[in-house]
Amino acid sequence: MKAAPFDYVRVSSIDEACQALADGGEDARIIAGGQTLIPLMAMRLARPTLLIDINEVDDLTGISVNGDNLVIKARTRQADTLASDVVKERLPILADALSHVGHTQTRNRGTVGGSLVNADPSAEIPLIAQTLDATIIAQSTRGERTIAAGDFFESAMATTLAPDECLTAVRFPIWPAANTGFGFHEVSIRDSDFALAAAAAQTTLDSNGNCQRLSVAICGASPAALRLSIVEETLMGSDLNDDAIKTACANIDDLIDPQSDVHADAAYRGRVAKVMARRAISDARDRAKGELV
Amino acid sequence: MPDTTASQEYRYITKKRRVTEDRRFITGRGNFAADYNLPGMLHVAMVTSPYACAEIKGINAEAALALPGVRYVLTGAELFENINPLLSGLDLPNVKRIPLAHERARYAGEWVAAVVAESRHIAEDAVELVEVDYNPIDFVIDPEEAMNADAPLVHPQHGSNILCDKTWVWGDVDDDFEAAPHNLAFRARWSRCSTIPIETFVVTAKCDEGKEMLDVWASIQMPKYPEQIARALSLPVNAINVHFDVDVGGSYGLKRGIRQTVIVSYLTRKLRAPVRFNEDRLENMSGGEMHGPDRIFDMEVAFDDDGIMHSLKIKATDDAGCYPGRAPLQLGKPVSAIVGPYRIKSASYNAISVTTNKTSQEAVRGFGQAPTNFAIEAMVDKVALKLGLDRDEVRRRNLIRADEFPYRIPSGSEYDSGDYHTVLDKLQDSAGWQDLIAKRDAIRATGKLAGIGISTCLEPSGGNSSFEPFFNPKNDTTTWMESCLIKVDMLGSITALMGTSTSGQGHETLLSAVIGEVLERDPDTIRGVHAESLGALPSNSPVGSRMAIMLGGAAAGAAEKIKKQLLEIAAHNFQLPVDRLIYDGGDISVDGDPEKVMNWNLLIDIAHRQYHKMPLGSEPGLQAQHTWEVPTGGALPAEDGTVQMYPCYAFEAHIPLISVDPETGQVEILDYHMGHDCGTVLNPDIVRGMTFGGIAHGIGAALYEKFEYDEGGQHLSGSFMDYLLPSSHEIPHVEMIKHYTPSPLTTFGQKGSGESGYLGAPAAIASAVNDALAPLGKSIETLPMRVRDIEALINGQTE
Amino acid sequence: MSEHKITLTVNGREMSGYAEARLTLVDFLRDVLGQTGTHIGCEHGVCGACSIVLDGKPVRSCLMYAVMADGHEMTTVEGLEGPEGELSPLQDAFWENHAMQCGYCTPGMLIATHTLLQDNPDPNEDEIREAIGGNLCRCTGYQQIVEAVQMTAKKLREAS
């Protein structure tokens, strides 16, 4: 399991990275954590001709709050994000999801941006980006552009990032903390496996305990993480009682498109995706009410 | 509860002792096969077949050979011309196995050509350039379909996909079924899985042209390895030296890379350079020796109103994969304990081995016993369910009683010893059986499913060859020995040689403790050595849970001979008969006259340097060897189809408590209790570890692990992303209690424990899942019980 | 394909060698620098046998190319002993508890638990199991490994 030959360049700035991408052609790839790319290269399922190493680009790492947004630069390690107090406090849904990403050692190398670009249909970080309408920021020699998460994930392992673009940061909206709660649930075979299905939800309740804001998304049951707008619309304004949540989540068959593989058949994925959505919403409700830590 | 044995008379065995081998592993100084880096070494990578079955019409290696650094491309056709086919366990003259596919590739992933290059990287580059002209042909994946008359033949020259189909009837099975008020039948499925080690198979060979010697360093665990290399290459065995001091990175039966060894041995002679093949994980999982039993059980049992089981019929259909190898013989070992630990007075057994277009099956921990135990235990649970009796109570009523040993089962094996009821009692006590039930019911009350599992199983140990003549009358092997050679050097230190490699069993520790025990010398001063094959005595390698028994017995026997020599030297010098002398810690004194003493150093000095003080005609120096035939071994099967299989029978009982998420099918193991009796325990830490590890393998087999094939014959579980090994999250803490019923057949009363845990855990987990499903009136008889299967069953999505 | 001079600080010693970009860090450590204590189990990032400490954190050395580690500092199993070859408390506890059988996953297990104890000197069983959750062992069922880490933590607590 040795990679096919390739060239390597280490860059020290975002501009250098973009220039290298522009010069390197279609088969040049950015490498940061490499926790998915390197196994694919070992199996020769990926064959970049040039790897552009951004691990020494200091401008690409860091977590900050910018107004109503939490900005995570692309090369920030998953482990650092998980350990970050500001993430735990302002974006607890992401912290919770990150604890399900791989395990300690892969999180020590794996990056937030890498997971987004990789766009695995079962991955947790893209799921949270979809749930919260995150904004992806990309740069190339042609300049910078922002892409809404909803427009970013195209299908399984594919995004709308152009071959010459380098993802530089992701911006997660921070919701006002009062009466807001999140839920995250996933079903996997082993603890650290990719999710067979997962769901994330965040809600804000009004003073009567009714849902005034709700975001729900699932992954593992469609080519990319999927926002369940229809569920959100159905539940908006309701008191999010268990029956209402269950009914709303039962009606997503037309939206999802689960696939079968060696780990689970499509029908199973479809069924448990609904269960995960239901549990995520109900946890979000309970946390918003302060009934769940 | 501390591990203490009843036998306090021992100095070193049975006591906690650090494991000698561990020191090199914790400091990164193990000597694994991939750590041997020879100058000028070439590397092999395999071209693999993308088809389940295809004719190989031609191989064009031109482009590959043109790549700088590529030295050779070896094909099956060339090997076929130049080597002898590999040994098969059955008498199948028309099924010839060559290490690379010859004329026909018979499973997806089969090795078709070996590329040799200056680095593994270049070899892999060149693999992509080898052009193989395939003609895909019909294949068969399902073993039952393979038995149909119109099924595509895996080996057309054999004329059938059935490799063997044998039936034995022991006792009055028909009458017993007729007479019993109840019977039930069901099908149980053990899916293709195994005990995959973390190290793949690695072999390096070097031809020393000056010495005319083939040196082999390999991660091997296999009986008669040098002999098999010699036969394949038409070399005398004394022209091959296998370096058994290579540390093997886990094996559990699987590391049997004779194909790989023949390939690199052929290549090193041909290319006159050292050659290594270090399987990568993809080669290993699809083309190597990683696949284990793949078995369908059709079970029938006759029983009465009290749940007493009177007779048993087992039909086991086993999918051997593409080549027979030793896989069919894994249907044979279960004959050793065909009725489990139960007093079932008659039994019939129909064992069918079928070939399909899958990777060949290899020997796995327990050699077929774990699947059989799973089927037998599922049967006992079903008897209990049908009669509305408790599962532990049905077991108690059927278990062989302590006063009945030695106990001869219908198939002819005599169980040496045991106290099954006491172990079960102790286990239920320590587990808090009633508390577990309360805990289970409390979980059920919250809307989750929960279940308690129970299994009571045997581990046949000691190993012999009885299943070979049993399945192949042309094979009259009855010898199944192990040896030890002890040398006491001129300065008094003790070295013990064995003729096999270690894959984690702690043989060096075993030798030093046993020899220390007999000679009353500090084991820390005794060195056990994995001798190279040319310097070693006969061995059958660490298979069949046999080394504590057999290597332990050989070492004790050799040590007794050393002791005898020392006593004779002392007797000669004191001019007294041996029975007047007292041996104490290596010193010898005269009984009743403690002032008259010859110490260890003096005795050794006489042996090595003072022939004038030696008994007349004795051998100078101080060395002794002992080669021991397995107890109760040495006979061919009797005409009535009975046979004494293994000599010793360890007992284990498992009680896990699990919960099941009814909406996702996820199983969580909440508690795990296990009771174990393997006779006298030579090293408590080693036995504990093997048992915990065996339980982990068993949990994997029960819930996670399966080599999956799709309808197109493609292997879907070729990496660790697809074949799921349980981690520290999935394997629970195990509470183990011990009981010690010595074997009357072995030196210290020890039995085997190398397969412990694995032989009862799959059955216990299955029992627990089915207890969880029982309130729904549902059950699963197929392993692994995966989340999707469990969820689908609970939610009515399947039958 | 590019070839690179790579300089690493391995167990406090600077070591250099040349390698193609595609050589993984574990291959470089083993085959170029001769540090064979670190093992290869799967080469696709699942088994953890190749775990090393990179810049203070445990990582998989099969999931990095050696060239990416150029200029960085690492600890391998060979670096766990004291300067005179004395066993670390963790190594000693692995031995005392027989926290291994074949020894193949052991270097990775030691690295994973060594870094755990640096960050968290008093881990509970769940935290220990989490720390080794990415390191597969087929021999032990993990129990004696957990016990060894618990014993080390206890000893370190008593010593401090």
Q: Which residues contact A23 (CB under 8 A, 6 or more apart)?
A: none
Q: Which residues make beta-bridge pairs with B73?
A: B115
Percent of chain B with pLDDT strictly greater than 90:
95
Query: Does an H or E element contain B117, and which?
Result: strand B111-117
* pLDDT for the residue B408: 98
Contact: A34, C64; criterion CB under 8 Å: yes
User: Is the domain of C141 the same as that of C93?
Assistant: yes
| Minimum-distance CB partner of A6 among C21, C57, C131 | C21
In residues, how long is chain A? 293
| Minimum-distance CB partner of A268 among B120, B716, B792 | B792
Q: C50 CB near a chain B CB, below 8 Å?
A: no
> In the predicted model, what is the mean pLDDT of chain B?
96
> What are the tokens at B615?
């008994």
Contact: C95, B686; criterion CB under 8 Å: no
Nearest CA in chain C to A40: C44
> What are the tokens at B424?
């079960």
Residue C84 domain-assigned? Answer: no
Q: B726 CB near a chain A CB, below 8 Å?
A: yes
CA distances from B291 to B28, B220, B311, B327, B495 (A): 30, 16, 32, 10, 38
Q: Kindly list the residues from chain A whose CB atom is less than 8 angstroms away from the CB atom of residue B722.
A: 262-263
Question: A113: burial class by Cβ within 10 Å (0-12, 13-18, 19+)?
Answer: buried
> What are the tokens at B27?
């400091």
Pairing mode, if any, of strands A50-53 and A28-31? parallel
Contact: C59, A1; criterion CB under 8 Å: no
- Neighbour tally for B169: CB within 10 Å: 16
* pLDDT for the residue A256: 94
Residue A181, φ and ψ in degrees, nearest 5:
-145, 160
Q: Which of residues 281-340 of B touch C (CB under 8 A)?
A: 281
Q: Is B533 helix (H, G, I), strand (E, B) or coil?
A: helix
Residue B316, φ and ψ in degrees, nearest 5:
-115, 120
pLDDT band at B343 (very low <50, low <70, confident <90, very high): very high
Nearest CA in chain B to A269: B788
Q: C44 CB near a chain B CB, below 8 Å?
A: yes
Percent of chain B with pLDDT strictly greater than 70:
99
Contact: C141, B731; criterion CB under 8 Å: yes
Topology given in CATH for the domain delimited by B22-29+481-629? Aldehyde Oxidoreductase; domain 4 (3.30.365)
| Minimum-distance CB partner of A268 among B120, B730, B788 | B788
Question: B403: burial class by Cβ within 10 Å (0-12, 13-18, 19+)?
Answer: exposed
Task: Write down which residue in C78, C97, C125 finishes a domain.
Answer: C78
- Neighbour tally for A143: CB within 10 Å: 8
Confirm if A197 and A220 have CB atoms less than 8 A apart.
yes
- Neighbour tally for A43: CB within 10 Å: 18
As a 3-state breakdown, chain B gives helix, strand, coil percent values, each rounded to 5, of 30, 25, 45
Pairing mode, if any, of strands B295-303 and B182-190? antiparallel
Chain A contact probe: residue of B663, B717, B719, B727 with most A CBs at under 10 A: B663
DSSP class of residue C11?
A: T
Q: Kindly list the residues from chain B whose CB atom is less than 8 angstroms away from the CB atom of residue A193.
A: 724
| Minimum-distance CB partner of C43 among A6, A42, A106 | A42
The domain at A58-173 falls in which architecture?
2-Layer Sandwich (3.30)
Handedness of CA A233, A237, A238, A239 (dihedral sign): positive
User: Is the domain of C15 the same as that of C58?
Assistant: yes
Q: Kindly list the residues from chain A whose CB atom is less than 8 angstroms away from the CB atom of residue B282.
A: 1, 43
Per-residue pLDDT of chain A (293 residues; tens, 9 = 90+): 999 999 999 999 999 999 999 999 999 999 999 999 999 999 999 999 999 999 999 999 999 999 999 999 999 999 999 999 999 999 999 999 999 999 999 999 999 999 999 999 999 999 999 999 999 999 999 999 999 999 999 999 999 999 999 999 999 999 999 999 999 999 999 988 889 999 999 999 999 999 999 999 999 999 999 999 999 999 999 999 999 999 999 989 899 999 999 999 999 999 999 999 999 999 999 999 999 98
How far is A38 from chain B, CA to nearest CA, in Å? 14
User: For residues B644 and B636, what is the distance between their CA atoms, to the nearest angstrom?
Assistant: 9
Residue C114 domain-assigned? Answer: yes
User: Is the domain of C94 the same as that of C69?
Assistant: no
User: For residues B664 and A187, what is the distance between their CA atoms, to the nearest angstrom?
Assistant: 7
Contact: C130, B505; criterion CB under 8 Å: no
Question: One-letter amino acid identity for C20?
Answer: E
- Neighbour tally for A26: CB within 10 Å: 9
Long-range contacts of A146-150 (CB under 8 A, 24+ apart): A146/A171, A150/A227
pLDDT band at B428 (very low <50, low <70, confident <90, very high): very high
CA distances from A261 to A198, B281, B710, B747, B787 (A): 16, 20, 10, 53, 14
Task: Write down which residue in C50, C78, C106 finishes a domain.
Answer: C78
| Average pLDDT score over residue span B661-676 | 98
* pLDDT for the residue B326: 85
How far is C69 from chain B, CA to nearest CA, in Å? 20
Contact: C101, B689; criterion CB under 8 Å: yes
Nearest to C77 by CA among C97, C50, C40: C50
Question: One-letter amino acid identity for B370?
Answer: A
Task: Write down which residue in C78, C102, C130 finishes a domain.
Answer: C78
Chain segment B80-129, per-residue pLDDT in tens: 999 999 988 899 999 999 999 999 999 999 999 999 999 999 999 999 99
User: Is the domain of C102 the same as that of C68?
Assistant: no
Contact: A31, C133; criterion CB under 8 Å: no
Question: B407-421, B460-474, B510-524: lowest mean pLDDT where?
Answer: B460-474
Contact: A5, B125; criterion CB under 8 Å: yes
- Neighbour tally for A151: CB within 10 Å: 12
Nearest to B569 by CA among B615, B608, B619, B623: B615
| Residue bearing tokens 């998915």 | A36
User: Is the domain of C50 the same as that of C112?
Assistant: no
Q: Which residues contact B236 (CB under 8 A, 6 or more apart)?
A: B230
Q: Which residues make beta-bridge pairs with B32?
A: B247
Cα Rg, chain A, nearest whole Å:
19
How far is B285 from chain A, CA to nearest CA, in Å? 13
As a 3-state breakdown, chain A gives helix, strand, coil percent values, each rounded to 5, of 35, 25, 40
Nearest CA in chain C to A52: C68
User: For residues A148 and A171, what is the distance between their CA atoms, to the nearest angstrom?
Assistant: 10
Q: Kindly list the residues from chain B whose CB atom is less than 8 angstroms away from the CB atom of residue A191.
A: 727, 729-730
Residue C123 domain-assigned? Answer: yes
In residues, how long is chain B? 799
Residue C83 domain-assigned? Answer: no
Q: Kindly list the residues from chain A whose CB atom is less than 8 angstroms away from the CB atom of residue C60.
A: 35, 105-106, 109
Q: Which of residues 98-137 of C touch B (CB under 8 A)?
A: 98, 100-107, 110, 125, 128-130, 132-137
Q: C143 CB near a chain B CB, below 8 Å?
A: yes
Q: Kindly list the residues from chain A whose CB atom is less than 8 angstroms away from the CB atom of residue B791.
A: 268, 271-272
* pLDDT for the residue B252: 96
Contact: B281, A271; criterion CB under 8 Å: no
Contact: B27, C77; criterion CB under 8 Å: yes
Q: C21 CB near a chain A CB, below 8 Å?
A: yes
Does domain B33-137+200-248+255-287 bear CATH number 3.90.1170.50? yes
> What are the tokens at A163?
């071959």
Nearest CA in chain C to B686: C98
User: For residues B79 and B267, what is the distance between their CA atoms, to the nearest angstrom?
Assistant: 10
Question: A54: burial class by Cβ within 10 Å (0-12, 13-18, 19+)?
Answer: buried
pLDDT band at B1 (very low <50, low <70, confident <90, very high): very low
Does domain A180-288 bear CATH number 3.30.390.50? yes
* pLDDT for the residue C2: 80
Nearest CA in chain B to C90: B26
Q: How many domains does chain C have?
A: 2
CATH of A7-53, one of 3.30.40.230, 3.90.1170.40, 3.30.43.10, 3.30.70.2190: 3.30.43.10
Confirm if B43 and B34 have CB atoms less than 8 A apart.
no
Please calculate the CA angle B553-B557-B563 and round it to the nearest 5 degrees: 145
| Residue bearing tokens 């070996």 | B114
Q: Which residues make beta-bridge pairs with B213?
A: B208
Neighbours of chain A (3+ CB pairs under 8 A): B, C
E strand residue ranges, chain A: 7-10, 28-31, 50-53, 63-66, 69-73, 135-140, 143-148, 153-155, 158-159, 166-173, 180-187, 197-205, 211-219, 226-227
Domain boundaries, chain A: 7-53, 58-173, 180-288
Q: Which residues contact A147 (CB under 8 A, 6 or more apart)?
A: A135, A136, A137, A138, A160, A161
User: For residues B158 and B136, what is the distance between their CA atoms, to the nearest angstrom?
Assistant: 20
* pLDDT for the residue B798: 63
Contact: A7, C1; criterion CB under 8 Å: yes
| Average pLDDT score over residue span B415-437 | 98
Contact: B692, C130; criterion CB under 8 Å: no
Chain segment B125-172, per-residue pLDDT in tens: 999 999 999 999 999 999 999 999 999 999 999 999 999 999 999 999
CATH of the domain at C132: 1.10.150.120
pLDDT(B430) > 50: yes
User: Is the domain of C70 the same as that of C112?
Assistant: no
Q: Kindly list the residues from chain C whose CB atom is less than 8 angstroms away from the CB atom of residue B251.
A: 102
DSSP class of residue B725?
A: -
Q: C68 CB near a chain A CB, below 8 Å?
A: yes
Q: C83 CB near a chain A CB, below 8 Å?
A: no
Cα Rg, chain B, nearest whole Å:
27
- Neighbour tally for B633: CB within 10 Å: 20
Chain segment B556-590, per-residue pLDDT in tens: 999 999 999 999 999 999 999 999 999 999 999 99
| Minimum-distance CB partner of B729 among C78, C81, C133 | C133
| Residue bearing tokens 């040496």 | B416
User: For residues B359 and B567, what is the distance between their CA atoms, to the nearest angstrom?
Assistant: 57
> Helix (H) and strand (E) counts for chain A?
12, 14
Q: B596 CB near a chain A CB, below 8 Å?
A: no
User: Is the domain of C135 the same as that of C97?
Assistant: yes
Question: A191-195, B306-310, B629-633, C47-51: lowest mean pLDDT where?
Answer: A191-195
Chain segment B755-777, per-residue pLDDT in tens: 999 999 999 999 999 999 999 99
For B41-66, the three-class secondary structure string (H helix, E strand, C coil) is CEEEEEEECCCCCEEEEEEECHHHHH
* pLDDT for the residue B88: 87
Residue B25, φ and ψ in degrees, nearest 5:
-75, -35
Contact: B727, A44; criterion CB under 8 Å: no
pLDDT(B4) > 60: no
| Average pLDDT score over residue span B608-614 | 98
Q: Which of residues 190-249 of B touch C (CB under 8 A)?
A: 195-200, 247-249
Range of the domain at C123: 89-159
| Minimum-distance CB partner of B727 among A39, A192, A272 | A192
Residue C62 domain-assigned? Answer: yes
* pLDDT for the residue B3: 43
* pLDDT for the residue B8: 60
Domain boundaries, chain B: 22-29+481-629, 33-137+200-248+255-287, 295-466+637-794
Residue A236, φ and ψ in degrees, nearest 5:
-55, 130
Dihedral angle of Cα B90, B95, B97, B100, to the nearest 10 degrees = -150
Topology given in CATH for the domain delimited by B295-466+637-794? Aldehyde Oxidoreductase; domain 4 (3.30.365)
Contact: C141, B37; criterion CB under 8 Å: no
Asked if the domains at B22-29+481-629 and B295-466+637-794 fall in one CATH topology, the answer is: yes
Chain C contact probe: residue of B25, B31, B36, B285 with most C CBs at under 10 A: B25
